Protein backbone atom coordinates (compact mmCIF):
# COMPACT_ATOMS: atom_id res chain seq x y z
CA UNK A 1 0.00 0.00 0.00
CA UNK A 2 1.12 3.55 -0.66
CA UNK A 3 1.04 6.23 2.03
CA UNK A 4 -2.41 7.24 0.72
CA UNK A 5 -3.86 3.75 1.27
CA UNK A 6 -3.67 2.94 -2.44
CA UNK A 7 -2.21 -0.33 -3.80
CA UNK A 8 1.48 0.09 -4.62
CA UNK A 9 1.40 -1.77 -7.94
CA UNK A 10 0.93 1.17 -10.25
CA UNK A 11 1.01 1.47 -14.01
CA UNK A 12 1.50 4.87 -15.59
CA UNK A 13 -0.45 4.78 -18.85
CA UNK A 14 0.13 7.44 -21.49
CA UNK A 15 -3.10 7.53 -23.46
CA UNK A 16 -3.93 8.62 -26.95
CA UNK A 17 -1.95 6.04 -28.93
CA UNK A 18 -4.07 3.64 -31.02
CA UNK A 19 -3.18 -0.01 -30.32
CA UNK A 20 -1.66 -1.70 -33.35
CA UNK A 21 -0.25 -5.20 -33.71
CA UNK A 22 -0.74 -8.85 -32.95
CA UNK A 23 -1.13 -10.72 -29.68
CA UNK A 24 -2.19 -14.26 -28.76
CA UNK A 25 -4.79 -15.60 -26.37
CA UNK A 26 -4.32 -19.00 -24.75
CA UNK A 27 -6.73 -21.48 -23.19
CA UNK A 28 -9.77 -19.91 -21.54
CA UNK A 29 -9.25 -19.10 -17.87
CA UNK A 30 -12.79 -20.24 -17.17
CA UNK A 31 -12.18 -23.67 -18.68
CA UNK A 32 -8.54 -24.31 -17.80
CA UNK A 33 -9.07 -23.93 -14.05
CA UNK A 34 -12.03 -26.37 -14.14
CA UNK A 35 -10.19 -28.88 -16.32
CA UNK A 36 -7.40 -28.79 -13.73
CA UNK A 37 -9.87 -29.66 -10.96
CA UNK A 38 -11.20 -32.54 -13.09
CA UNK A 39 -7.76 -34.22 -12.98
CA UNK A 40 -8.58 -35.18 -9.37
CA UNK A 41 -11.30 -37.50 -10.60
CA UNK A 42 -9.01 -39.70 -12.70
CA UNK A 43 -6.79 -42.60 -11.78
CA UNK A 44 -4.28 -41.82 -14.54
CA UNK A 45 -2.29 -38.69 -15.50
CA UNK A 46 -3.87 -35.85 -17.51
CA UNK A 47 -2.28 -33.43 -19.91
CA UNK A 48 -3.51 -29.88 -20.53
CA UNK A 49 -2.08 -27.69 -23.30
CA UNK A 50 -2.06 -23.95 -23.83
CA UNK A 51 -2.40 -23.16 -20.12
CA UNK A 52 -2.07 -19.39 -19.59
CA UNK A 53 0.34 -18.02 -16.98
CA UNK A 54 -2.27 -16.34 -14.81
CA UNK A 55 -2.88 -16.12 -11.07
CA UNK A 56 -6.02 -18.28 -11.09
CA UNK A 57 -4.03 -21.15 -12.60
CA UNK A 58 -1.37 -20.78 -9.89
CA UNK A 59 -4.02 -20.94 -7.15
CA UNK A 60 -5.61 -24.10 -8.54
CA UNK A 61 -2.20 -25.69 -9.14
CA UNK A 62 -1.26 -25.01 -5.55
CA UNK A 63 -4.51 -26.45 -4.23
CA UNK A 64 -4.05 -29.58 -6.34
CA UNK A 65 -0.48 -30.00 -5.08
CA UNK A 66 -1.66 -29.58 -1.49
CA UNK A 67 -3.98 -32.52 -2.16
CA UNK A 68 -1.19 -34.74 -3.45
CA UNK A 69 -1.57 -34.23 -7.21
CA UNK A 70 1.86 -34.02 -8.83
CA UNK A 71 1.89 -31.16 -11.33
CA UNK A 72 4.74 -30.81 -13.81
CA UNK A 73 5.57 -29.03 -17.02
CA UNK A 74 5.03 -30.94 -20.26
CA UNK A 75 7.17 -31.03 -23.40
CA UNK A 76 5.42 -28.04 -25.03
CA UNK A 77 5.58 -24.57 -23.54
CA UNK A 78 2.36 -23.91 -21.56
CA UNK A 79 1.65 -27.63 -21.18
CA UNK A 80 0.92 -29.03 -17.72
CA UNK A 81 0.83 -32.68 -16.67
CA UNK A 82 -1.15 -33.81 -13.61
CA UNK A 83 -0.60 -37.08 -11.80
CA UNK A 84 -3.40 -37.85 -9.31
CA UNK A 85 -2.01 -41.23 -8.15
CA UNK A 86 -1.54 -40.09 -4.55
CA UNK A 87 -4.47 -37.82 -3.75
CA UNK A 88 -4.53 -37.15 -0.02
CA UNK A 89 -6.11 -34.85 2.55
CA UNK A 90 -4.56 -31.44 2.80
CA UNK A 91 -3.84 -29.41 5.89
CA UNK A 92 -6.67 -26.95 6.56
CA UNK A 93 -4.31 -24.09 7.40
CA UNK A 94 -2.41 -24.62 4.17
CA UNK A 95 -5.65 -24.66 2.17
CA UNK A 96 -6.75 -21.52 3.93
CA UNK A 97 -3.78 -19.59 2.57
CA UNK A 98 -5.92 -19.41 -0.56
CA UNK A 99 -9.02 -18.11 1.20
CA UNK A 100 -10.42 -15.19 -0.73
CA UNK A 101 -8.17 -15.61 -3.76
CA UNK A 102 -10.43 -17.40 -6.23
CA UNK A 103 -13.88 -18.91 -6.79
CA UNK A 104 -12.54 -22.21 -8.08
CA UNK A 105 -12.02 -24.04 -4.72
CA UNK A 106 -15.78 -24.60 -4.44
CA UNK A 107 -15.45 -26.97 -7.41
CA UNK A 108 -13.14 -29.27 -5.42
CA UNK A 109 -16.15 -30.50 -3.39
CA UNK A 110 -17.37 -33.36 -5.59
CA UNK A 111 -13.96 -34.64 -6.72
CA UNK A 112 -12.56 -34.65 -3.16
CA UNK A 113 -15.65 -36.34 -1.77
CA UNK A 114 -15.23 -39.07 -4.40
CA UNK A 115 -11.51 -39.47 -3.78
CA UNK A 116 -11.28 -39.00 -0.02
CA UNK A 117 -14.80 -39.08 1.40
CA UNK A 118 -14.36 -35.59 2.83
CA UNK A 119 -13.40 -32.08 1.73
CA UNK A 120 -12.53 -28.73 3.23
CA UNK A 121 -13.20 -25.64 1.13
CA UNK A 122 -11.77 -22.24 2.16
CA UNK A 123 -13.68 -19.01 2.06
CA UNK A 124 -14.10 -18.02 -1.58
CA UNK A 125 -12.80 -15.03 -3.44
CA UNK A 126 -13.20 -13.81 -6.96
CA UNK A 127 -14.35 -10.48 -8.26
CA UNK A 128 -16.53 -8.21 -6.17
CA UNK A 129 -19.39 -7.87 -8.59
CA UNK A 130 -22.29 -8.73 -6.31
CA UNK A 131 -22.88 -11.03 -3.35
CA UNK A 132 -22.03 -14.13 -5.44
CA UNK A 133 -23.85 -16.67 -3.25
CA UNK A 134 -23.13 -20.42 -3.40
CA UNK A 135 -26.60 -21.61 -2.45
CA UNK A 136 -27.13 -23.52 -5.74
CA UNK A 137 -23.85 -25.39 -5.17
CA UNK A 138 -24.71 -26.39 -1.63
CA UNK A 139 -28.25 -27.40 -2.50
CA UNK A 140 -26.93 -29.60 -5.34
CA UNK A 141 -24.24 -31.22 -3.18
CA UNK A 142 -26.81 -32.00 -0.48
CA UNK A 143 -29.06 -33.60 -3.09
CA UNK A 144 -26.18 -35.89 -4.07
CA UNK A 145 -25.95 -36.94 -0.42
CA UNK A 146 -23.19 -34.68 0.88
CA UNK A 147 -23.33 -33.36 4.43
CA UNK A 148 -22.21 -29.73 4.42
CA UNK A 149 -21.02 -28.04 7.59
CA UNK A 150 -20.34 -24.32 7.26
CA UNK A 151 -17.84 -22.86 9.76
CA UNK A 152 -16.34 -19.36 9.96
CA UNK A 153 -13.09 -20.77 8.46
CA UNK A 154 -14.70 -22.53 5.52
CA UNK A 155 -16.85 -25.52 4.64
CA UNK A 156 -16.38 -29.11 5.77
CA UNK A 157 -18.08 -31.77 3.65
CA UNK A 158 -18.54 -35.49 4.09
CA UNK A 159 -20.57 -38.13 2.26
CA UNK A 160 -21.30 -40.83 4.86
CA UNK A 161 -23.47 -42.83 2.45
CA UNK A 162 -21.66 -42.01 -0.78
CA UNK A 163 -22.84 -39.71 -3.57
CA UNK A 164 -25.91 -40.71 -5.59
CA UNK A 165 -27.34 -39.48 -8.88
CA UNK A 166 -30.30 -37.15 -8.51
CA UNK A 167 -32.75 -34.88 -10.37
CA UNK A 168 -31.95 -31.19 -10.08
CA UNK A 169 -33.23 -27.94 -11.52
CA UNK A 170 -31.17 -24.79 -11.11
CA UNK A 171 -33.11 -21.59 -10.28
CA UNK A 172 -30.81 -19.81 -12.79
CA UNK A 173 -28.40 -21.34 -15.36
CA UNK A 174 -25.32 -20.76 -13.21
CA UNK A 175 -21.98 -21.67 -14.80
CA UNK A 176 -20.34 -22.67 -11.52
CA UNK A 177 -23.30 -24.69 -10.22
CA UNK A 178 -23.53 -26.57 -13.54
CA UNK A 179 -19.83 -27.40 -13.27
CA UNK A 180 -20.33 -28.48 -9.67
CA UNK A 181 -23.04 -30.90 -10.76
CA UNK A 182 -20.94 -32.25 -13.66
CA UNK A 183 -17.84 -32.79 -11.51
CA UNK A 184 -19.91 -34.56 -8.86
CA UNK A 185 -22.32 -36.56 -11.03
CA UNK A 186 -19.72 -38.17 -13.30
CA UNK A 187 -18.68 -40.55 -10.54
CA UNK A 188 -21.87 -40.60 -8.46
CA UNK A 189 -23.84 -43.80 -8.30
CA UNK A 190 -26.66 -43.74 -10.89
CA UNK A 191 -28.07 -41.14 -13.26
CA UNK A 192 -28.28 -37.38 -12.68
CA UNK A 193 -30.61 -35.12 -14.60
CA UNK A 194 -29.81 -31.42 -14.49
CA UNK A 195 -32.43 -28.94 -15.73
CA UNK A 196 -31.85 -25.26 -16.49
CA UNK A 197 -28.13 -25.95 -16.89
CA UNK A 198 -25.65 -23.40 -18.19
CA UNK A 199 -24.38 -24.31 -21.67
CA UNK A 200 -21.51 -21.84 -22.13
CA UNK A 201 -18.78 -23.03 -24.54
CA UNK A 202 -16.47 -23.45 -21.52
CA UNK A 203 -18.99 -25.90 -20.04
CA UNK A 204 -19.25 -27.87 -23.25
CA UNK A 205 -15.45 -28.00 -23.31
CA UNK A 206 -15.41 -29.29 -19.72
CA UNK A 207 -17.89 -31.96 -20.81
CA UNK A 208 -15.44 -32.89 -23.59
CA UNK A 209 -12.66 -33.20 -21.00
CA UNK A 210 -14.82 -35.44 -18.80
CA UNK A 211 -15.88 -37.53 -21.78
CA UNK A 212 -12.21 -38.09 -22.63
CA UNK A 213 -11.79 -39.35 -19.05
CA UNK A 214 -14.56 -41.90 -19.53
CA UNK A 215 -17.70 -40.03 -18.42
CA UNK A 216 -21.11 -40.47 -20.04
CA UNK A 217 -22.79 -37.08 -20.41
CA UNK A 218 -25.69 -36.26 -22.73
CA UNK A 219 -26.50 -32.65 -23.54
CA UNK A 220 -30.17 -32.46 -24.51
CA UNK A 221 -32.03 -29.46 -25.92
CA UNK A 222 -33.57 -26.88 -23.56
CA UNK A 223 -30.69 -26.80 -21.06
CA UNK A 224 -31.06 -30.40 -19.88
CA UNK A 225 -27.91 -32.41 -19.14
CA UNK A 226 -28.01 -36.07 -18.22
CA UNK A 227 -25.02 -37.71 -16.59
CA UNK A 228 -24.64 -41.44 -16.10
CA UNK A 229 -22.26 -42.05 -13.23
CA UNK A 230 -19.34 -44.41 -13.88
CA UNK A 231 -17.22 -46.25 -11.28
CA UNK A 232 -13.86 -45.01 -12.56
CA UNK A 233 -12.36 -42.30 -14.75
CA UNK A 234 -8.96 -42.14 -16.41
CA UNK A 235 -6.83 -39.18 -17.50
CA UNK A 236 -7.23 -36.85 -20.45
CA UNK A 237 -5.19 -34.97 -22.99
CA UNK A 238 -6.83 -31.71 -23.97
CA UNK A 239 -6.25 -28.46 -25.84
CA UNK A 240 -8.73 -25.99 -24.32
CA UNK A 241 -10.98 -23.55 -26.12
CA UNK A 242 -9.38 -20.11 -26.42
CA UNK A 243 -10.17 -17.30 -24.01
CA UNK A 244 -13.07 -15.47 -25.65
CA UNK A 245 -13.25 -12.94 -22.81
CA UNK A 246 -9.65 -11.88 -23.28
CA UNK A 247 -10.10 -11.81 -27.06
CA UNK A 248 -13.10 -9.50 -26.77
CA UNK A 249 -11.23 -7.29 -24.30
CA UNK A 250 -8.46 -6.64 -26.83
CA UNK A 251 -11.05 -6.13 -29.57
CA UNK A 252 -12.75 -3.47 -27.43
CA UNK A 253 -9.35 -1.89 -26.74
CA UNK A 254 -8.68 -1.69 -30.49
CA UNK A 255 -12.03 0.02 -31.05
CA UNK A 256 -11.78 2.43 -28.11
CA UNK A 257 -8.29 3.60 -29.10
CA UNK A 258 -8.97 3.75 -32.85
CA UNK A 259 -6.51 0.91 -33.44
CA UNK A 260 -6.07 -2.40 -35.25
CA UNK A 261 -5.38 -5.57 -33.25
CA UNK A 262 -5.07 -9.14 -34.46
CA UNK A 263 -5.91 -11.64 -31.74
CA UNK A 264 -4.29 -14.96 -32.59
CA UNK A 265 -6.18 -17.91 -31.14
CA UNK A 266 -9.57 -16.09 -31.06
CA UNK A 267 -12.35 -18.25 -32.51
CA UNK A 268 -15.41 -17.00 -34.34
CA UNK A 269 -17.81 -19.67 -33.17
CA UNK A 270 -17.41 -18.75 -29.48
CA UNK A 271 -17.68 -15.04 -30.16
CA UNK A 272 -20.56 -14.74 -32.64
CA UNK A 273 -22.72 -12.63 -30.35
CA UNK A 274 -19.83 -10.31 -29.58
CA UNK A 275 -18.94 -10.00 -33.26
CA UNK A 276 -22.49 -8.95 -34.15
CA UNK A 277 -22.42 -6.16 -31.58
CA UNK A 278 -18.87 -5.14 -32.56
CA UNK A 279 -20.07 -4.75 -36.15
CA UNK A 280 -23.24 -2.85 -35.11
CA UNK A 281 -21.10 -0.36 -33.21
CA UNK A 282 -19.06 0.22 -36.37
CA UNK A 283 -16.00 -1.90 -35.65
CA UNK A 284 -14.64 -4.11 -38.41
CA UNK A 285 -13.23 -7.59 -38.13
CA UNK A 286 -11.77 -10.25 -40.33
CA UNK A 287 -11.86 -13.91 -39.33
CA UNK A 288 -8.47 -15.38 -40.20
CA UNK A 289 -9.56 -18.99 -40.37
CA UNK A 290 -7.60 -21.27 -38.11
CA UNK A 291 -5.44 -18.41 -36.86
CA UNK A 292 -7.44 -15.73 -35.11
CA UNK A 293 -9.50 -12.59 -35.67
CA UNK A 294 -8.34 -9.12 -36.67
CA UNK A 295 -10.35 -6.27 -35.10
CA UNK A 296 -10.07 -2.64 -36.13
CA UNK A 297 -11.63 0.80 -36.09
CA UNK A 298 -12.25 1.77 -39.72
CA UNK A 299 -12.27 5.52 -38.99
CA UNK A 300 -15.34 7.75 -38.88
CA UNK A 301 -18.08 7.66 -36.27
CA UNK A 302 -19.00 4.71 -34.06
CA UNK A 303 -22.71 4.02 -33.54
CA UNK A 304 -24.61 3.69 -30.25
CA UNK A 305 -26.24 0.30 -29.53
CA UNK A 306 -28.65 -1.26 -27.04
CA UNK A 307 -27.57 -4.55 -25.53
CA UNK A 308 -28.41 -6.94 -22.72
CA UNK A 309 -25.96 -9.31 -21.11
CA UNK A 310 -27.24 -12.85 -20.74
CA UNK A 311 -26.24 -16.46 -20.36
CA UNK A 312 -25.01 -18.25 -23.48
CA UNK A 313 -25.77 -17.73 -26.33
CA UNK A 314 -26.41 -14.18 -25.16
CA UNK A 315 -23.89 -11.36 -24.85
CA UNK A 316 -21.48 -12.38 -22.05
CA UNK A 317 -21.46 -10.30 -18.89
CA UNK A 318 -17.64 -10.33 -19.05
CA UNK A 319 -17.70 -8.59 -22.45
CA UNK A 320 -19.78 -5.76 -21.06
CA UNK A 321 -17.21 -3.62 -19.25
CA UNK A 322 -14.56 -3.50 -22.00
CA UNK A 323 -17.18 -2.76 -24.65
CA UNK A 324 -18.73 0.07 -22.62
CA UNK A 325 -15.42 1.94 -22.85
CA UNK A 326 -15.68 1.77 -26.64
CA UNK A 327 -19.34 2.88 -26.40
CA UNK A 328 -18.24 6.13 -24.72
CA UNK A 329 -16.78 6.92 -28.16
CA UNK A 330 -19.98 6.13 -30.10
CA UNK A 331 -22.40 8.86 -31.25
CA UNK A 332 -25.75 8.82 -29.49
CA UNK A 333 -27.23 6.96 -26.54
CA UNK A 334 -26.20 3.37 -25.88
CA UNK A 335 -28.14 1.26 -23.44
CA UNK A 336 -26.74 -1.66 -21.46
CA UNK A 337 -28.94 -3.97 -19.37
CA UNK A 338 -26.81 -6.24 -17.14
CA UNK A 339 -28.91 -9.30 -16.29
CA UNK A 340 -26.28 -11.75 -14.97
CA UNK A 341 -24.70 -9.86 -12.03
CA UNK A 342 -26.52 -7.29 -9.95
CA UNK A 343 -23.53 -5.00 -9.32
CA UNK A 344 -21.42 -4.98 -12.42
CA UNK A 345 -21.70 -1.30 -13.34
CA UNK A 346 -19.78 0.27 -10.44
CA UNK A 347 -16.78 0.85 -12.67
CA UNK A 348 -18.74 3.42 -14.73
CA UNK A 349 -18.05 6.00 -11.99
CA UNK A 350 -14.37 5.95 -12.90
CA UNK A 351 -15.24 6.40 -16.58
CA UNK A 352 -17.40 9.41 -15.69
CA UNK A 353 -14.49 10.83 -13.73
CA UNK A 354 -12.53 10.61 -16.99
CA UNK A 355 -15.12 12.56 -18.95
CA UNK A 356 -17.65 9.88 -19.98
CA UNK A 357 -21.38 10.50 -19.54
CA UNK A 358 -22.88 7.33 -18.13
CA UNK A 359 -25.97 7.18 -15.99
CA UNK A 360 -26.97 4.01 -14.16
CA UNK A 361 -30.53 2.97 -13.36
CA UNK A 362 -32.39 0.50 -11.17
CA UNK A 363 -34.91 -0.19 -13.93
CA UNK A 364 -34.58 -2.96 -16.48
CA UNK A 365 -33.71 -0.93 -19.59
CA UNK A 366 -34.04 -3.86 -21.94
CA UNK A 367 -36.57 -6.06 -23.66
CA UNK A 368 -36.45 -8.70 -20.94
CA UNK A 369 -37.38 -7.79 -17.37
CA UNK A 370 -34.70 -9.51 -15.25
CA UNK A 371 -34.51 -10.79 -11.67
CA UNK A 372 -32.83 -7.54 -10.50
CA UNK A 373 -35.59 -5.21 -11.72
CA UNK A 374 -37.55 -4.85 -8.52
CA UNK A 375 -34.63 -5.39 -6.17
CA UNK A 376 -33.01 -1.99 -6.07
CA UNK A 377 -29.88 -2.89 -8.01
CA UNK A 378 -28.29 -0.33 -10.33
CA UNK A 379 -28.03 -2.73 -13.23
CA UNK A 380 -28.83 -0.70 -16.36
CA UNK A 381 -26.70 2.02 -17.92
CA UNK A 382 -27.21 4.73 -20.51
CA UNK A 383 -24.01 5.91 -22.17
CA UNK A 384 -24.09 9.22 -24.04
CA UNK A 385 -21.27 9.72 -26.53
CA UNK A 386 -18.95 10.52 -27.98
CA UNK A 387 -16.97 11.80 -25.00
CA UNK A 388 -13.42 12.98 -24.92
CA UNK A 389 -11.74 10.99 -22.16
CA UNK A 390 -9.01 12.56 -20.07
CA UNK A 391 -6.42 11.01 -17.75
CA UNK A 392 -7.25 10.21 -14.13
CA UNK A 393 -6.05 8.31 -11.07
CA UNK A 394 -7.76 4.93 -11.19
CA UNK A 395 -7.96 2.13 -8.64
CA UNK A 396 -8.75 -1.28 -10.10
CA UNK A 397 -11.84 -2.79 -8.43
CA UNK A 398 -12.02 -6.23 -10.10
CA UNK A 399 -10.66 -8.18 -13.02
CA UNK A 400 -12.89 -7.18 -15.94
CA UNK A 401 -13.61 -3.67 -14.69
CA UNK A 402 -9.85 -3.37 -14.17
CA UNK A 403 -9.11 -4.12 -17.79
CA UNK A 404 -11.76 -1.57 -18.76
CA UNK A 405 -10.00 1.06 -16.66
CA UNK A 406 -6.87 0.21 -18.54
CA UNK A 407 -8.61 0.57 -21.92
CA UNK A 408 -10.06 3.90 -20.82
CA UNK A 409 -6.59 5.09 -19.77
CA UNK A 410 -5.23 4.03 -23.18
CA UNK A 411 -8.01 5.92 -24.98
CA UNK A 412 -7.72 9.04 -22.80
CA UNK A 413 -5.64 12.12 -23.36
CA UNK A 414 -2.75 12.42 -20.90
CA UNK A 415 -1.08 10.10 -18.41
CA UNK A 416 -3.25 8.06 -15.99
CA UNK A 417 -2.02 6.32 -12.88
CA UNK A 418 -3.69 2.92 -12.61
CA UNK A 419 -3.40 1.45 -9.09
CA UNK A 420 -3.75 -2.26 -8.26
CA UNK A 421 -2.86 -3.50 -11.75
CA UNK A 422 -1.69 -6.88 -10.43
CA UNK A 423 -5.34 -7.88 -10.15
CA UNK A 424 -5.39 -7.99 -13.94
CA UNK A 425 -2.86 -10.86 -13.80
CA UNK A 426 -5.65 -13.05 -12.39
CA UNK A 427 -7.10 -13.40 -15.85
CA UNK A 428 -4.94 -11.70 -18.48
CA UNK A 429 -1.67 -13.41 -19.29
CA UNK A 430 1.35 -11.12 -19.59
CA UNK A 431 -0.86 -8.13 -20.29
CA UNK A 432 1.95 -5.65 -19.85
CA UNK A 433 4.08 -7.40 -22.50
CA UNK A 434 1.03 -7.50 -24.77
CA UNK A 435 0.41 -3.79 -24.24
CA UNK A 436 4.02 -3.12 -25.22
CA UNK A 437 3.67 -5.34 -28.30
CA UNK A 438 0.67 -3.26 -29.36
CA UNK A 439 2.60 -0.03 -29.05
CA UNK A 440 0.97 1.20 -25.85
CA UNK A 441 3.04 3.48 -23.70
CA UNK A 442 2.77 2.19 -20.15
CA UNK A 443 5.36 1.85 -17.41
CA UNK A 444 5.43 0.51 -13.86
CA UNK A 445 6.08 3.14 -11.21
N1 LIG B 1 -25.73 -17.54 -8.42
C2 LIG B 1 -26.51 -17.72 -7.29
N3 LIG B 1 -26.24 -18.80 -6.50
C4 LIG B 1 -25.25 -19.68 -6.76
C5 LIG B 1 -24.46 -19.50 -7.92
C6 LIG B 1 -24.73 -18.39 -8.73
O7 LIG B 1 -27.42 -16.93 -7.03
O8 LIG B 1 -25.06 -20.64 -5.99
C9 LIG B 1 -25.98 -16.36 -9.29
C10 LIG B 1 -24.79 -15.37 -9.24
O11 LIG B 1 -24.87 -14.54 -8.11
C12 LIG B 1 -24.94 -14.64 -10.53
C13 LIG B 1 -25.51 -15.71 -11.48
O14 LIG B 1 -26.03 -16.74 -10.64
O15 LIG B 1 -25.87 -13.58 -10.40
C16 LIG B 1 -24.51 -16.29 -12.44
O17 LIG B 1 -23.37 -16.76 -11.74
P18 LIG B 1 -22.53 -18.02 -12.23
O19 LIG B 1 -22.61 -19.07 -11.21
O20 LIG B 1 -22.95 -18.34 -13.63
O21 LIG B 1 -21.07 -17.41 -12.24
P22 LIG B 1 -19.73 -18.12 -11.76
O23 LIG B 1 -19.72 -19.55 -12.12
O24 LIG B 1 -19.44 -17.73 -10.36
C25 LIG B 1 -18.46 -17.80 -14.01
C26 LIG B 1 -17.20 -17.09 -14.42
C27 LIG B 1 -17.43 -15.60 -14.41
C28 LIG B 1 -18.55 -15.27 -15.36
C29 LIG B 1 -19.81 -16.05 -14.98
C30 LIG B 1 -20.95 -15.86 -15.95
C31 LIG B 1 -15.49 -18.57 -13.64
C32 LIG B 1 -14.38 -18.81 -12.68
N33 LIG B 1 -16.14 -17.43 -13.50
O34 LIG B 1 -18.71 -17.36 -12.68
O35 LIG B 1 -16.25 -15.01 -14.88
O36 LIG B 1 -18.82 -13.90 -15.32
O37 LIG B 1 -19.51 -17.46 -14.91
O38 LIG B 1 -20.58 -16.27 -17.23
O39 LIG B 1 -15.76 -19.38 -14.51
C40 LIG B 1 -14.43 -13.55 -14.84
O41 LIG B 1 -13.83 -14.37 -15.56
O42 LIG B 1 -13.99 -12.40 -14.60
C43 LIG B 1 -15.70 -13.91 -14.25
C44 LIG B 1 -16.26 -13.23 -13.25
Question: What are the pLDDT tens digits along the chain (445 aa)?
Answer: 655 677 789 999 999 999 999 999 999 999 999 999 999 999 999 999 999 999 999 999 999 999 999 999 999 999 999 999 998 888 777 777 776 667 888 999 999 999 999 999 887 655 555 567 899 999 999 999 999 998 877 889 999 999 999 999 999 999 999 999 999 999 999 999 999 999 999 999 999 999 999 999 999 999 999 999 999 999 999 999 999 999 999 999 999 999 999 999 999 999 999 999 999 999 999 999 899 999 999 999 999 999 999 999 999 999 999 999 999 999 999 999 999 999 899 999 999 999 999 999 999 998 888 999 878 899 999 999 999 999 999 999 889 999 999 999 999 999 999 999 999 988 999 999 999 999 999 999 8
> C-alpha distances in angstroms, 415 versus 340, 409, 443?
34, 8, 11
In angstroms, the CA 411 to CA 15 distance is 5
In angstroms, the CA 161 to CA 117 distance is 10
- pLDDT at position 125 is 58
In angstroms, the CA 372 to CA 263 distance is 35
The residues spanned by each domain of the chain are: 10-25+242-444, 29-238
- pLDDT at position 410 is 97
Asked if 109 is an active-site residue, the reply is: no
- pLDDT at position 2 is 59
Instruction: Out of 3.40.1280.10, 3.40.50.2300, 3.40.50.300, 3.65.10.10, select the CATH number for domain 29-238.
Output: 3.65.10.10
Architecture of domain 10-25+242-444: Alpha-beta prism (3.65)
CB 41 within 8 A of CB 233: yes
User: In what helix (H) or strand (E) does residue 126 lie, and over which residues does it extend?
Assistant: none
In angstroms, the CA 194 to CA 170 distance is 8
- pLDDT at position 398 is 87
- pLDDT at position 131 is 61
CB 347 within 8 A of CB 404: yes
Q: Enter the DSSP assignment of 426.
A: G
Q: Residue 260: beta bridge partners?
A: 20, 296
Which atom in ligand 1 lies closest to the alpha carbon of residue 176? 23
* Phi, psi for 152 (deg, rounded to 5): -60, -25
Counting ligand 1 atoms within 8 A of each CB, the residue from 134, 172, 173, 429 with the most, and so the one to mutate, is 172
Which atom in ligand 1 lies closest to the alpha carbon of residue 175? 20
- pLDDT at position 94 is 78
- pLDDT at position 240 is 98
Counting ligand 1 atoms within 8 A of each CB, the residue from 32, 54, 132 with the most, and so the one to mutate, is 132
CB atoms within 10 A of CB 4: 7
In angstroms, the CA 186 to CA 232 distance is 9
- pLDDT at position 376 is 86
For ligand 1, residues with CB inside 6 Å are 29-30, 103, 127, 130, 132-137, 172, 174-177, 198, 245, 317-318, 340-341, 399-400, 427
Which atom in ligand 1 lies closest to the alpha carbon of residue 341? 15
Counting ligand 1 atoms within 8 A of each CB, the residue from 37, 57, 176 with the most, and so the one to mutate, is 176
Q: Decide whether 10-25+242-444 matches 29-238 in CATH topology.
A: yes
How far, in Å, is the centroid of ligand 1 from the Cα of 58?
20
| CA angle, residues 99, 200, 314, in degrees to nearest 5 | 115
Considering only CA atoms, which residue is closest to atom 18 of ligand 1? Answer: 174
Q: Enter the DSSP assignment of 315.
A: B
- pLDDT at position 375 is 84
User: In what helix (H) or strand (E) does residue 345 lie, and over which residues does it extend?
Assistant: none
Kindly provide the b/e burial profile for residues 386-413, where b requires at least 16 CB atoms within 10 angstroms of the residue's own CB. Answer: bbebebbebbbbbbbbbbbbbbbbbbbe
Q: Which of 345, 251, 329, 243 is nearest to 28 (CA)?
A: 243
In angstroms, the CA 61 to CA 56 distance is 9
- pLDDT at position 123 is 74
Amino acid sequence: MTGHGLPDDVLLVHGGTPLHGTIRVRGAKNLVSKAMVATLLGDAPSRLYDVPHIRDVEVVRDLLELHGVRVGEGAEPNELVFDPANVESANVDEINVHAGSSRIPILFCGPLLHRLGHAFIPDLGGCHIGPRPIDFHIQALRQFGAVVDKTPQGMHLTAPNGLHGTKLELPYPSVGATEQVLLTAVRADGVTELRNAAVEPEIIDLICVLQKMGAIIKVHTDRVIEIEGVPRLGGYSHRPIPDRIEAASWAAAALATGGDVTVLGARQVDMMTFLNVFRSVGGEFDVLDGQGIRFWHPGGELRAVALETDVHPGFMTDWQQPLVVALTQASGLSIVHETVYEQRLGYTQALNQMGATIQVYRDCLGGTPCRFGRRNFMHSAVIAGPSKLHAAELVIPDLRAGFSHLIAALAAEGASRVYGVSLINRGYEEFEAKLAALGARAERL
